[in-house]
Amino acid sequence: MPFPLRSTRPITALFGLALALSTTAAFGQPATALWHSDLAGGYQALVERSDALQQRAQSYCAAPKEHSLETVSEAWEEAFMAWQRVRFVDFGPIEQDNIAWQLQFWPDSKNLVARKTDNWLKGDQPINAAALAADSVAAKGFPALEYLLFDPRVRDGKQALPHARTCELVEAISAQIHDNATRLHSDWSRFGSHYQSRAEYEHTTVSAAMHTLEILRDKRLAAPMGLGGKGRRNPYIADAWRSGESLEAIEATLRGLQTYFLPGFLQLMQARQMTPLGEQFGLRLNEALVRLDSMPDAMAPLLKTDDGYRSLQLLYIDLDRLATLLNGTIASELGIIKGFNASDGD
């Protein structure tokens, strides 16, 4: 088949797709059962990566001469990408106590991440789990850590790591991310019987993917490209711009859809006698991933050149086709309607 394969990773992904089709067909597992176990794996990966992050932060801060800061930055990136892969889930335990926001405060048009994190750096209040828990979501989670690890305002300042107070803050925020990930994972397993006993969660789960594709296309890609609105290109409204991982993060979210959403989705489509549409979605998803695989991790440099911008436009077209297929054709075939007050009432 004429797939535009350009690297090895998407080939594995296609195998995954075929495998998913054959195993689910064989076992006839309900879609929600598959989603529940797949996502348990996704949350488990987040627990492991955030545990590694916490430990690297501790080791580095305990003996900064023996460990490089890069070990912490790399652990941040791995944990952050594990979060991106499960970020599409917007129901269930993630809704408790704003955990999604605690993990990633975004968008941040007022630069609250820098302001709130600076308050901790400049103040002399004790840094501990309880104090941090009581503060703004902007001073928690991956963006606050990213600010401390990557932003020149900190890296080139007097409190650059391994400054003691900055280290304390990095350790406290990493520990809190790990706590939230652990809670998420255990709540997800408790949520299992409720989730699998109610048929409406089939549509809830598809709606989560629909919503994620809209955000990917409109907020995470089109907005920094300056499409719509004021028309000005602005890399700072993308997520993970400080670490230069905006596109890598988009790729991780799509990869998460492929790994944790697609198998259950194909099962659902098969049960509704819509297998071809489901497979079409899997192929388009893969096409977008193939393109992303050939692109750099950062978005900012691509916004500065014509060639770079053109590659973003092609990615936009991929995401738009993907979103249109799921949110238009497939949603309407499945009878999924997004309520105005039901989804955003008051």
Helix axes 200-214, 262-271, angle to 10 degrees: 130
C-beta of residue 260 within 8 angstroms of C-beta of residue 41: yes
- Taking the C-alpha atoms of residue 311 and residue 300, their distance in angstroms, rounded to an integer, is 12
Q: By C-beta, is 99 or 315 nearer to other proteins?
A: 99
Q: By C-beta, is 83 or 188 nearer to other proteins?
A: 188
CA nearest neighbour of 319 among 175, 213, 173, 183: 213
Q: Least distance (Å) from other proteins to the CB of residue 40?
A: 16
Residue 33 in contact with other proteins, rule: CB under 8 A: no
- Taking the C-alpha atoms of residue 7 and residue 129, their distance in angstroms, rounded to an integer, is 43
- Taking the C-alpha atoms of residue 148 and residue 198, their distance in angstroms, rounded to an integer, is 43
Of 57, 81, 137, 295, the residue at the interface with other proteins (CB under 8 A) is: 137
Residue 346 in contact with other proteins, rule: CB under 8 A: yes
Residue 129 in contact with other proteins, rule: CB under 8 A: no
Q: Least distance (Å) from other proteins to the CB of residue 125?
A: 19
Q: By C-beta, is 231 or 339 nearer to other proteins?
A: 339
How many CB atoms are closer than 10 A to CB 120? 21
CA nearest neighbour of 325 among 260, 265, 248: 265
Q: Least distance (Å) from other proteins to the CB of residue 95?
A: 7
Of 12, 22, 98, 294, the residue at the interface with other proteins (CB under 8 A) is: 98
Residue 35 in contact with other proteins, rule: CB under 8 A: no
Please state the φ and ψ torsions of residue 304, each to the nearest 5 degrees. -95, -15
Q: By C-beta, is 9 or 190 nearer to other proteins?
A: 190
Q: Least distance (Å) from other proteins to the CB of residue 196?
A: 11
Residue 337 in contact with other proteins, rule: CB under 8 A: yes
Q: What is the dihedral of CA 7, 10, 14, 17, to 10 degrees?
A: 170
Instruction: Note the residues at the interface with other proteins (CB under 8 A).
Output: 91-93, 95-98, 101, 110, 112, 136-138, 191, 194-195, 337, 339-342, 345-346
